[in-house]
Amino acid sequence: MSTAPTGGTGILVTAPGDGGPGDGTPVVEVLGVRHHGPGSARAVRAALERLRPDVVLVEGPADADPLAVLVGDRDLVPPVALLAHVTDEPGTAAFWPFAVFSPEWQALVWAREHGAHVRFCDLPSSSSLVQRTDAEEPAAEPAGGPTDEPTGELADEPTGELADPLGVRRDPLAALAAAGGYDDPERWWEDVVESRSDAPAPFAVLTEAMAELRAVTPALPAVQQLLEDRREAHMRQVLRETLKGGARRVAVVCGAWHAPALSGTLPSAASDARLLRGTPKRRTTLSWVPWTHSRLARASGYGAGITSPGWYHHLFTARDEPVARWLTRVAGVLRAEDLPVSSAHVIEAVRLAETLALLRGRPLPGLAEVTEATRAVLAEGEEALLALVTDRLVVGESMGTVPDGAPTVPLAADLRASAKRLRLAQEPAERALELDLRKDTDAARSRLLHRLRLLGVGWGVPTRSQVRGTGTFREAWRLVWAPELAVAVVEASLWGTTVAAAANAKAVADAADASLPALTGLVEHCLLADLAEALPAVVRAVDDRAALDLDVAHLVAALPALVRAARYRDVRGTSTEALSAVASSLLVRTCAGLPAAVTSLDDAGAAALRAALDDVHAAVALWQDPDADERWSGALAGVSARTDVHGLLSGRATRLLRDTGRLLPAEAAHRLQRALSIGTPAPAQAAWVEGFLGRDGLLLVHDTDLLALLDGWVCSLPEREFTDVLPLLRRTFGAYDRAERRSIGDAVTRRPPAGTTTGAADVDDALALPALRTAAFLLGGPA
């Protein structure tokens, strides 16, 4: 309750249920809650029904009031979150999440249903985002603020590694639980609040307990404490403005930690005004965005994650027989996995959960009891099945929705419309998507997903197709929509108002300072995303950069992506004439610089360049340009013929020439024999073998001459050199799959040992006669 302002002393707010003064004085009740608590949500609904306020104040950014009118829209379905970002710096953003079981959400819904005026009363995001950024210190976790991950913006329990030996500010409910003899604050809260399905939460008792905790808790560091003080001062100022505006009954729904600051004799308005004077501000933009239960289960939103949002949602929505209904849902999950779970199992699990609660002196079974009943009866002790239930039900992956007409940045609206048109649902559950680029709808989906990747919105991730016999006309994606992608969309909105325009602008901007390999990758991305406006500028940048880049490593890294990009002209219908000229120029410069690039390389440098040579060789084969093929083969021939080049490179060049028919098998064998000749150090010989064989061991199965040559070399190695070479050979042959290794082993066992022949003239009859007699005797013949 409250009395009207008296002089300069402020407002006297008394505990709920004390009874009004009976003289027409405005009535104010402060409902201190646990955020995301179904018991608190039910208690708030009951308190509002009893008080019937004409104004409801809810802890939240005060500048979000215009968005409160959307509460009650059938398309605004929790879990959702308020997203605030600095208008000219979208990366500075924060979320205020709401679930259906959040007390604040239920207060908003009640107000809309009963025609009560509703206001958010916390610091505006225009101030809180700036101050929270300033309040972050290297030695402390942020107390909720703009980071890359969603953070708790309405924390009733200040978070962070603070100078507080009791940890009260980190989790004040843990202190209350410890005082009540509980070692688990979640269980304490369930017993005191969550299991109270018929009675309101003890707001007065919680406020009194929090006042005691605040009295003994050390202050925060100065900057963080100033932020908390300003938040509470702003809440009081909004309360004063509401009463001054003529409100007769006011309900304030806030975190329990803040309830004492809004109860009792409040400080004067002048003192709060002085505290708020000088509060920094920046222009911010707010909107509703979808949220998920899994995000509520993380340390995000209201300062601390809740471990069981799916269970809390069930507690709030299942008014009767919550345990039986829950275990029935568990059985459904297990049956979906083809497990034999019957109704008898459910009945037995319910009995076990109720018995455990009785033995532990609990009013109703809680999550601990139903989990143990699930483990013992329904999962039969299998922890993997219990983990499945936890993932599907206890946490869950429910995702909210936002009306199409809700305020948002134009880019987000365009993305939403495009996704709807292409029938791409923004779902939190991972799903695979196979696209056939010959179909118009699938091609449009591919363009959208590639454009979003270019903008840093990772809704889709390319994967390997599961369809056999796929060509360049097929793509496979893994789609997962996470809430934080809403911030990525806001950040990307700086580049344009539509996905296509933003992607084109972003590509041109990226081309300005990208390296040559990154530029050719950007060309490929522009073709995949069909960015016709950006492609000419990016191709010009490639041409200009290639003319000045003297690093052959950059050239060989850049060429494959450029050649692959040209292949998409057949599937996507994109004009790529300019790419051929740029690719030809790159290849000429690569071939000219290759002799110098392969000289004096260490093992790591040679390995990196060998991989690049493989990529360029594959790109030239894909290119199908006779002039390019001739030029590249000549460059490889020069590397293969040299004896002063690292064995990995000369061996690989020899193999590539052999595979394309530019080098006869006999000549390739001769070069292998030369590389394995006496006088060459064993490690150098092994490097040449590794380069020559590469990752294809079947060559040894089909070419018996090469196998004999290699076998003879291994058998001729002295013990010390064999010990030095063995790790290198293991690395080479270890890269083959099991079937290849087995085939090579069979081929070795089928051929005679090195240095022997199978001619009859070489057999010593005197030595063979005893063996022949023994074999004849064993076979039943004469000895």
Look at residue 373 in the predicted model and tell me its pLDDT: 93
Determine how many CB atoms are found less than 10 A away from the CB of residue 421. 11
Q: Is residue 194's pLDDT more than 70?
A: no
Query: In this predicted structure, which of 6-15, 435-444, 714-723 has the lowest mean pLDDT?
Result: 6-15
Look at residue 119 in the predicted model and tell me its pLDDT: 94
* 616 vs 193: which has the higher pLDDT: 616
Look at residue 540 in the predicted model and tell me its pLDDT: 83
Supply the mean pLDDT for the chain: 78
Residues 107-125 pLDDT 10s: 999 999 999 999 999 999 9
Banded model confidence at residue 662, pLDDT cuts 50, 70, 90: confident
Look at residue 39 in the predicted model and tell me its pLDDT: 80
Task: Determine the average pLDDT of the residues in 642-666.
Answer: 81
* 139 vs 760: which has the higher pLDDT: 760
Long-range contacts of 592-595 (CB under 8 A, 24+ apart): 593/550, 593/552, 593/555, 594/552, 594/556, 594/635, 594/638, 594/639, 595/635, 595/638, 595/639
Residues sharing a CB contact under 8 Å with residue 483, sequence separation 6 or more, in sequence order: 81, 95, 150, 289, 290, 291, 292, 295
Query: In this predicted structure, which of 176-180, 210-214, 361-365 has the lowest mean pLDDT?
Result: 176-180
**Percent of the chain, pLDDT > 90?**
21
Query: In this predicted structure, which of 5-14, 308-317, 444-453, 721-730 has the lowest mean pLDDT?
Result: 5-14
Q: Which amino acid is at 405?
A: G
In whole angstroms, give the CA distance from residue 119 to residue 129. 19
Banded model confidence at residue 200, pLDDT cuts 50, 70, 90: low
Banded model confidence at residue 698, pLDDT cuts 50, 70, 90: low
Residues sharing a CB contact under 8 Å with residue 599, sequence separation 6 or more, in sequence order: 644, 645
Look at residue 238 in the predicted model and tell me its pLDDT: 94
Query: In this predicted structure, which of 290-299, 346-355, 653-662, 705-714 has the lowest mean pLDDT?
Result: 705-714
Query: In this predicted structure, which of 224-228, 263-267, 298-302, 304-308 has the lowest mean pLDDT?
Result: 298-302
Residues sharing a CB contact under 8 Å with residue 748, sequence separation 6 or more, in sequence order: 707, 711
Look at residue 328 in the predicted model and tell me its pLDDT: 94
**Percent of the chain, pLDDT > 70?**
76
Q: Is residue 638's pLDDT more than 70?
A: yes
For residue 304, the 8-state DSSP code is S
Q: Is residue 149's pLDDT more than 50?
A: no
Q: What angle do CA 407, 410, 124 make, to 5 degrees?
A: 40
Look at residue 160 in the predicted model and tell me its pLDDT: 36
Positive or negative, the CA dihedral 396, 64, 169, 146 is: positive
Sheet holding 431-436, edge to edge: 431-436, 474-479, 460-463
In whole angstroms, give the CA distance from residue 303 to residue 296. 10
Q: Is residue 316's pLDDT more than 80?
A: yes
Among 525, 523, 524, residue whose Cα is nearest residue 541: 523
Q: Which amino acid is at 102?
A: S
Which string of DSSP letters, residue by residue, matches 669-699?
A: HHHHHHHTSTTS-HHHHHHHHHHHHTT-THH
Among 464, 463, 420, 422, residue whose Cα is nearest residue 440: 422
Look at residue 13 in the predicted model and tell me its pLDDT: 60
Residues 29-42 pLDDT 10s: 999 888 887 888 88
Q: Tell the burial category of 595 from Cβ atoms under 10 Å away from its Cβ (0-12, 13-18, 19+).
A: middle
Residues sharing a CB contact under 8 Å with residue 241, sequence separation 6 or more, in sequence order: none
Among 36, 91, 79, residue whose Cα is nearest residue 59: 36
Residues sharing a CB contact under 8 Å with residue 312, sequence separation 6 or more, in sequence order: 36, 37, 38, 99, 101, 194, 306
For residue 422, the 8-state DSSP code is T
Domain ranges across the chain: 12-17+24-296, 318-395, 410-495
Query: In this predicted structure, which of 79-83, 193-197, 341-345, 495-499 has the lowest mean pLDDT?
Result: 193-197
Coil vs helix vs strand at 60: strand
For residue 260, the 8-state DSSP code is G
Task: Determine the average pLDDT of the residues in 425-452.
Answer: 89
Q: Tell me if 389 sits within 8 A of 374, measured CB to CB.
A: yes
Task: Determine the average pLDDT of the residues in 61-73.
Answer: 91
Residues 732-780 pLDDT 10s: 666 666 776 677 677 666 665 544 544 445 667 777 788 878 877 777 6
